Structure 1
């Protein structure tokens, strides 16, 4: 067994020396640097070598190889590999599919379910065995009320924060809701993996507890005696309590009224040192996000969600638990340790309970691929799994493909794989893919992307290409945009900062105004992620922040650099911590690069071990590589800040510690690279600014001259011809090429109704330039009352319709019918308005009713590229090609209302086929 431990340590920790002392009393994490992912590998090797199945509890309790040896020797500690689990008994029939749509707080959601079906199973908690501990809605409320009484009797006041540091189980569920019912604000923080780590763990969490000004901490009983350790660091902390102690209190609950805008809980995203960031999530934020995600995923009470995700993380807390609470579907909950100890159990549980939903970070899917053998898949049926959500860390395209291919034999549908995007600042979800589409991988040219951020498509399989995974489209009621460093929205397929807004967006970070102001830009919030939009979908390309995600856990470099920099033997302020992509694990490798003058081999080995212990103590994760480098190896800015990205590039090129060029050569190269990069940015920014100025100056000149000429010309036909020439000239001079197809369909001089999508204020100019001067535009009546626009449009023969007054609208419709009867063709924008968001919006019926009743052909026209050139709400134009596709003629089947509806649906389907944009009507339904 020690040989297995040694081999595992040497493979997982490249910096470990061959002669490192590994014995029965070596502490797995502190001495050997074996973190949770390392334990997964060690467990699987021991079980495979000895043909046993170690108890799952051992994953959390074993500290040394001796603990493992005792489990192997003890007959009670060894169990044969179990046969595939049989299907679970059918769950109780779902009473209804209704949801608490009127609820304004999380407590009202629970009350709603308790009133309608108090005994329906809400959560099934799985232990080591095959049974479950079922919790009904009524049981959850009763258990939470008992905790709430105990909190109130200990002086908890409305709005005070209560930290919750508990593993997955009844205590967490009762504790969280108990805090809410008592009027407090829960602050979930992650618990230590083992009870032996509680003291050190609590010390590390002091910064979060202090920032939240926590009045109490609910945790396991073993931590109560450690309250004195935190008192000096967290003056607000009144006591450390257990759920059992709180639940034993006698008395009645005093109701605490809460409003939708009140704080529901704090979600901490930062490390335990430095400046913690607690995202403020209100009840309104939370319910808006749950409703939007449910609509996007078509969730209802007949779904079943299997989750091993930690309850302190937003994907496990909100996506799994609160999602099941709101929609009433059954949640099968297992411990994260149960998954890590035996990844196959996750899939077996999906099989057993016929789960339809489950989510995990990318590393979990990769873990199943690497650790599951053929015998693990025997009898495994994943056909019920309709959505395998992949989020919380960068998604690897190879992982998606290999997971879908391997488990297709188990019934997993390829379209079930669903990469998603979210973050705590948006409560949880931001973008989800359309149902049934399956993963999209974008192949782009490496050179243009790395040089200027332009995502030029290239054929799949190209050797010199980059691949990016599509994360989906914004949730209903939410918006995404990509901007440059000055906050100007970028055209599609151009990399920039991803920003979002919507009802789920946080107001900011608790007691941290500086960070809140840094990410907020008006109504928009900066995700600090990089990406681009294409066809209404978001593609993430990287992070503007230095956050490292390893095994689903967030690691902040500054925290670790500070801790490592305090170790003796290292040069202070000369430590760089960064993540390096690792295809093997589907996660990121944690690398620590530290400068030292030490040359002695034994001393350097001791330094590496000390760094590993410091990292493990602080983050719970051991570094994958510790690089000790000579002085001046860690790259810095002129002001002395660590250049982590540049240090990572140096590491990945294998150039750390290599003899350097002469100082003057290094300086020359640095100056040259800096000047070239800065010059490129300035030239691009200057070029964009000059183009924008030229665009608007040209438009002003052309529009003014055209308006004046049209106002003076006596004939309408002359006005239209002049406007057509002016529109063509403007687009040509503005550098906006027109690509027109299907124009031949307008050769016949027949009367027709033309309908076009509306994406930009340029659409009218483009149609004037393309269409023959025989069409009359149909516009909203408000424009007719404007002096400048009204006179110009009337001279062109524009028809105006009333949108809000039903009587006047009917009269206008009759007038339009008369115009058609008189032989005049009409142009409609049936969406009625435009939006900065990509997508075809719902159609108004006017154009289709007229075409059906007049029995004239309807011609859909697809306008592409105008939104990229000039987006609504963004007065900064971009160069780009405009495409105009005149589709085939459509005829209504008859003259009735239903015939007009069918004609509308046909036109909509035709336009969606020609446009690289989503269907907003489907997203809203």
Structure 2
């Protein structure tokens, strides 16, 4: 923290959030005298740090708002403080055995003791406002005012203390406050091990053996599936095994010699899973690719991806369903796939039931842990894709490591709604559930995303204990609950929505951001969601998905380097090592940002026919370079972004997701549909910032409307105010034009290439003309 009595620099509320770790919610409250704007600050229930300014009550949690004037040598700093009481644990007392507020914890930290977590702290009934004035040579003297919490109004306070003149000059911007940095050489090396992986010697060593065992031990358990219309069907594990065996036999009778892979284009979830397992039982490596919106448009990104993957894998057959095969056949002409062979689930099952003596059990027994089970295409690939090899042994190591670390068992109930071409739904969810014999709920992504609160209803109705989604889905829930207000909350309460059984809400697949986690937890706490259930994690297909989990989520445990706060993604699971390395692949010290690398049985043996990618990814001695930047602190992983997802402007580093979070806060844009990329700034002669967004109401296309100009102006203003950057380009898009992967990951590189190629030039010229 900072002490205003000794620190000459001042920061506004946003910088307090970024630099000091204090959670601050900024909200424009309207106009103050002659059109002067200001921001109010609301308290977080759990701050990341405890700190109080000189002269303040020592058991108060402080949030700052700054109003400054460039013309005057005076700055007004308002501290809004509220007591957040909480006892220090009896088993680790400090000097005085009594209850302490946050100051008690602050004192404990000063004695070298850790912060403690509060289950549900609440602000006291009053708050105090401390007003500081800084002049060139005058000392800082606090004066305090106490008012009832419900009666406090920032507007009236500003008028009472004559802040209007200061407000007219906007919030002052000051340089970042640099915290003291300990001697780097005293820090331990940035290397963390999950320890020994313990496995039962009698447990299945391959996925196919696991499916067979589960079908015998848990025949009635299985999958509850919701299609795009919300209709439900049931697929028990015994039925999944039966259908997979038939499909395996059908493949044996249908495949030409030498075929070792197949492309899955099966729209119905209840058919996709038997097709997937049928391939595994035949030692055919399936690769799932998203269903294109239009197979007749070969230039569409998904169609190009399918053609390139099909060619990379030596033109394997495409498995679909009889009702979908005609659509898939359009690729023969639209995507230059003339020789493509299409097999249907129905035909394969019919062939398999024709009385063949072929035994899938023999294939299951012959499969080795080192054999490749299936392929996974790298997320967002549209050119020649990276085709990742996923082995049986790697998946089994992941399953055991996760179970050992997170306490997973056959009693769990798992809910997922992300599409099956993403690695987490098929591996971390489905393969894991099959291995343990868990109940599983799989829902169509479009059905859930069109009405996000269906996710909560599914969890409650099925008494789920586990679920997962990327960060954007948690924001969808928070936004839906906030916009719905009392009416929606009453509907959920009337439906007896109870989320208290859900032990883990895994947040993975994209950057985990503190504001989204905070708002989600705030909005869902009334339905039983516990703070400790939020589970930020890191994973990638190249490491059989998640290999670090934060099972002790606290926003105040987030760590900041420079101006940014980062969420802990936890330590590695048993059987996995992680480290941070420099450009020479040498391990650096903790709290140093570098290249994030992993090692363990979960790591892929490599990419199919991609020597260049393999050379770049494998650093020697078993270490795999993830392509992510991050640091390790106390053995825990903190990611700062992708190596290629950092924008450097005039020597300052900005992470794309930080810029996007600022724009996403605007009510005039669609949340999670914002992308920040690097762009050449023709005026500054350096790298600039381009921002893509989807307006919520203003139309995009045709003439540039005044409403669209207003949205663009709002985007520019909020970025200037909050991060001090003026975008070189602001490009509004229609929602269907905004490129995302099926898991919701933003494809920034695709937008950057399109901008560089001049694809948005006409639109930008029209916007410039409308603004002039």
TM-score > 0.5 by shorter chain: yes
Structure 1 pair 237–246 and aligned structure 2 pair: CA distance change class (3 A):
farther
2:243 to 143, 147, 154: 143
Provide the C-alpha distance between the structure 1 equivalents of 2:464 and 2:446, rounded to a whole number of angstroms.
Answer: 20
Per the TM alignment, residue 223 of structure 1 is displaced from its structure 2 partner at its CA by 3.6
Deviations 1:877-896 (A, max 9, x none): xxxxxxxxxxxxxxxxxxxx
CA shift, 1:545, in A, is 3.1
Q: What's the secondary structure of 1:474's corresponding residue?
A: coil
Residues 279 and 231 of structure 1: CA distance in aligned 2, closer, same or farther (over 3 Å): farther
2:660 paired residue number: 581
**Mean Cα displacement is larger for which, 219-228 or 538-547?**
219-228
Report how far residue 103 of structure 1 moved.
1.5
Contact 2:224 2:441 in 1 (8 A): yes
Distance 1:211 1:527 in 2: 23
Instruction: Identify the structure with the greater strand proportion.
Output: 2
Indicate the residue corresponding to 1:904 in structure 2.
none
- Within 5 Å, give how 1:779-794 maps onto structure 2: none
- TM-score, reference length from structure 2: 0.57
**CA offset at residue 232 of structure 1?**
9.7
The farther-off stretch of 303-312 and 368-377 is 368-377
Whole-Å Cα distance in 2 between the matches of residues 232 and 196 of structure 1? 5
Other-structure match for 2:344 = 242
After TM superposition, the structure 1 = structure 2 runs for residues 554-573 of structure 1, keeping only pairs within 5 Å, are none
The one of 404, 409, 428 aligned to 2:545: 428
Residues 1:285 and 1:604: Cα distance change in structure 2 (over 3 Å): same
Name the residue aligned to 2:502. Answer: 385
Q: What is the distance in 1 between the residues matched to 2:287 and 2:656? A: 28
- Equivalent positions of 1:642-661 (< 5 A) are none
Task: Note closer, same or farther for the CA distance 1:313–1:480 as it changes in structure 2 (3 Å cut).
Answer: same
Unaligned runs of at least 5 residues, structure 2? 1-198, 648-654, 683-700, 706-729, 759-763
Note the alpha carbon deviations across 1:176-217, whole angstroms, 9 max, x for none: 011112221011111135788799543442112212224111
Structure whose residues are more often helix by fraction = 1
In the other structure, the counterpart of 1:419 is: 536
1:226-277, CA deviations, whole angstroms, 9 ceiling, x for partnerless residues?
A: 5364489677965112212222222423543321111101110154532310
Q: Equivalent residue for 2:564?
A: 466
1:519–1:405: structure 2 CA closer, same or farther, 3 Å change rule? same
Look up the match of 1:357.
Answer: 466
**Could you report, residue by residue, the CA deviation over 1:829-888 in whole angstroms, capped at 9, with x for unpaired residues?**
xxxxxxxxxxxxxxxxxxxxxxxxxxxxxxxxxxxxxxxxxxxxxxxxxxxxxxxxxxxx
* 1:531 to 2:630 alignment: yes
Please say if 1:273 is aligned against 2:371: no
SS in 1 for 2:441: strand
> Does 2:639 match 1:540?
yes
Give secondary structure in 1 for the equivalent of 2:605. coil
The CA deviation string for residues 696-736 of structure 1, in whole angstroms up to 9 with x for no partner, is xxxxxxxxxxxxxxxxxxxxxxxxxxxxxxxxxxxxxxxxx
Compared with structure 1, are the counterparts of its residues 613 and 369 closer, same or farther at alpha carbon in structure 2 (3 Å cutoff)? Answer: closer
Do the aligned partners of residues 279 and 415 (structure 1) sit closer, same or farther apart at CA in structure 2, a change above 3 Å counting?
Answer: same
1:165 and 2:272 aligned: no
Deviations 1:733-766 (A, max 9, x none): xxxxxxxxxxxxxxxxxxxxxxxxxxxxxxxxxx
CA distance in 1, matches of 2:553, 2:333: 53
Contact 1:262 1:283 in 2 (8 A): yes
- Of 440, 443, 450, the match for 1:341: 450
Change (3 A) 1:395 1:359: same
2:395 counterpart (275, 286, 292) = 286
| Partner SS state of residue 471, structure 1 | coil
Q: The residue matched to 2:273 in structure 1 has which SS?
A: helix
**Aligned counterpart, 1:177:** 277
Corresponding residue for 1:218? 319
Name the CA distance, whole Å, in 2 between partners of 1:135 and 1:206: 32
SS at match of 1:429: strand
Q: Which residue of 2 aligns with 1:116?
A: 217
Q: Is the 8 A contact 1:578 1:591 kept in 2?
A: yes
| 3-state DSSP of counterpart to 1:470 | coil
Structure with larger RCO (C-alpha < 8 A, sep 6+):
2
Q: Does 2:611 align with 1:502?
A: no
Aligned mates of 1:130, 1:274 — CA distance in 2: 34
User: Residues 408-463 of structure 1, C-alpha deviation per residue, up to 9 Å, x if partnerless?
Assistant: 111111100110011111011121124x55556434352xxxxxxxxxxxxxxxxx
Partner of 2:514: 397
SS of structure 1 residue aligned to 2:675: strand
How many Å apart are 1:623 and its aligned residue?
A: 9.3
User: For the residues of structure 2 that align with 1:530 and 1:628, how far apart are their CA atoms?
Assistant: 22
Q: 2:560 aligns with which of 441, 444, 457?
A: 444
Kept after mapping to 1: 8 A contact 2:295/2:334: no
Query: What does the per-residue CA deviation read over 1:476-496, in whole Å, with 9 as the maximum and x for residues that have no partner?
Result: 010000011111211111111
Q: What's the CA shift string for 1:774-824, capped at 9, x where partnerless? A: xxxxxxxxxxxxxxxxxxxxxxxxxxxxxxxxxxxxxxxxxxxxxxxxxxx
Structure 2 distance, partners of 1:613, 1:383, is: 34
Task: Map 1:294-309; keep pairs closer than 5 Å.
Answer: 294-309=403-418
Q: 1:480 aligns with which of 578, 582, 587?
A: 578
Q: 1:146–1:512: structure 2 CA closer, same or farther, 3 Å change rule? A: same
RMSD: 4.2
Instruction: Identify if the C-alpha distance between structure 1 residues 363 and 155 changes in structure 2 by more than 3 Å, giving closer, same or farther.
Output: same
Structure 2 distance, partners of 1:237, 1:624, is 31
Contact kept in structure 1, 2:283 and 2:373, CA below 8 Å: no
Say if 1:517 and 1:168 are closer, same or farther in 2 by CA, change over 3 A. farther
Please list, as runs of the form range in 1=range in 2, the aligned pairs for 1:19-168 lying within 5 A after superposition: 101-117=202-218, 119-127=219-227, 132-157=232-257, 160-167=260-267
Shift of 1:534: 0.5
TM-score by length of 1: 0.48
Aligned residues: 491
Distance 1:360 1:104 in 2: 28
Q: Distance in 2 between matches of 1:424 and 1:120?
A: 30
Written as runs of structure 1 = structure 2, the 5 A alignment for 1:790-869 is none
Relative to structure 1, the CA distance from residue 235 to residue 112 in structure 2 (aligned partners, 3 Å threshold; closer, same or farther) is: same
- Structure-2 separation of matches of 1:271 and 1:628: 12
User: Residues 432 and 150 of structure 1: is their aligned pair in 2 closer, same or farther, counting only changes over 3 Å?
Assistant: same
- Contact 1:417 1:439 (8 Å CA) reproduced: no
1:573-617 alpha-carbon deviations (Å, 9 max, x no partner): xxxx987523437746236889999xxx97999xx9998699569
